[in-house]
């Protein structure tokens, strides 16, 4: 139940997947909103502190998710998935991780450009290891936004693909990441359903 099996994802993988997805969307929305605030707005500093703190916590969660993925193999691919679909899915997952870490690294470089540590809700702080580079905050800010948009766009494609598998192909791709355990169809049954 906690761990993945050949037929589906375990509770830990499912919770980490949806937690990361929800936080990424939330941070993207917060980021777009907070850059429109003025210095005198009551949320000007608070929104930035929340964005930074949650961003650091997200980094830790993504590390945990990646670690769990490495020690807990993924379920066996659906029998009806073509080789191209399997390659595309694998590349998409790798690119999602790359974009996640790139977005968070750019955010860290913005936050520490002045040499100050990032405070995480008073629980701990992350020191500034790279600071004072010419135009660091502005350049990292441009990359942060561009990478965040790319991440959200790729995540949207990923979601559309899952919906396509569920409603058009009628396979178990979406059900498995929702934590639903259903019997795996035989390869012949999967192919015949695909042709129907």
* Overall fold of domain 11-185: Fumarate Reductase Cytochrome B subunit (1.20.950)
pLDDT tier at 7, thresholds 50, 70, 90: confident
pLDDT at 196: 47
Model confidence at 27: pLDDT above 60 = yes
In tens, the pLDDT along 68-113 reads 999 998 898 888 899 999 999 999 999 999 999 999 999 999 999 9
Nearest to 58 by CA among 148, 140, 145: 148
Residue 119 dihedral angles phi and psi, to the nearest 5°: -85, 135
pLDDT at 123: 98
Q: Which residues of 88-117 are buried (b: 16+ CB within 10 A; e: fewer)?
A: ebeeeeeebeebbebbbbbbbbbbbbeeee
Domain ranges of the chain: 11-185
pLDDT at 187: 54
In tens, the pLDDT along 165-180 reads 999 999 999 999 999 8
Determine the Cα–Cα distance for residues 139 and 110; give it in Å rounded to an integer. 8
pLDDT at 13: 96
- Output the six-digit token pair for 152: 């959200």
The rounded mean pLDDT for the chain is 92
pLDDT at 180: 84
- Output the six-digit token pair for 112: 């520490």
Percent of the chain, pLDDT > 90?
84
pTM of the complete model: 0.90
Q: What angle do CA 125, 129, 131 make, to 5 degrees?
A: 110
């Amino acid at each position: 139940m906690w761990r993945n099996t050949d037929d589906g994802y375990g509770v830990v993988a499912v919770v980490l997947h949806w937690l990361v997805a929800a936080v990424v969307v939330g941070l993207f929305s917060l980021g777009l909103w907070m850059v429109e605030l003025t210095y005198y707005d009551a949320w000007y500093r608070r929104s930035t502190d929340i964005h930074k703190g949650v961003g650091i916590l997200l980094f830790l969660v993504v590390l945990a998710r990646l670690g769990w993925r490495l020690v807990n193999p993924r379920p066996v691919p659906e029998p009806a998935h073509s080789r191209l679909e399997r390659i595309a899915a694998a590349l998409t997952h790798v690119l999602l991780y790359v974009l996640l870490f790139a977005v968070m690294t750019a955010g860290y470089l913005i936050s520490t450009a002045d040499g100050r540590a990032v405070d995480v809700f008073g629980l701990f702080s992350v020191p500034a290891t790279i600071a004072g580079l010419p135009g660091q905050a502005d350049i990292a800010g441009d990359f942060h936004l561009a990478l965040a948009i790319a991440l959200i766009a790729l995540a949207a494609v990923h979601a559309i693909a899952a919906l396509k598998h569920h409603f058009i192909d009628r396979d178990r791709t979406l059900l498995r990441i929702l934590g639903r355990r259903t019997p795996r169809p035989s390869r012949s049954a999967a192919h015949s359903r695909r042709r129907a």
